[in-house]
């Protein structure tokens, strides 16, 4: 999916490391997003597990 370079405005692919037009590092590459998403997913997963545990303990049997 093509995106616009933040620096020169040219259309570039979102999976390239650098803009082929001006050489600026791309902010659209998925590598960076994946690291942040993984951390957020881990937090969500832990919260979900804790919530499930609390609900399971509080549920009347």
Closer to Zn ion at the Cβ: 8 or 53? 8
Beta bridge partners of 12: 3
> Which of 14, 18, 22, 42 lies at the binding interface for Zn ion (CB under 5 A)?
22
Closer to Zn ion at the Cβ: 14 or 49? 14
26 interacts with Zn ion by CB under 5 A: no
Tokens 């020169």 locate to: 8
Identify how many contiguous H helices and E strands the chain contains and give both numbers.
1, 2
Looking at residue 13, the DSSP 8-state letter turns out to be E
Question: Which residues contribute to the site for Zn ion (CB under 5 A)?
Answer: 5, 7-8, 19, 21-22, 24
């Amino acid at each position: 999916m093509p995106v616009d370079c933040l620096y020169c405005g040219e259309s570039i692919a979102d999976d390239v490391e650098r803009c082929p037009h001006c050489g600026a590092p791309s902010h659209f590459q998925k590598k960076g997003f994946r690291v942040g998403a993984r951390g957020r997913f881990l937090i969500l997963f832990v919260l979900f597990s804790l919530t499930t545990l609390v609900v399971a303990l509080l549920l009347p049997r």
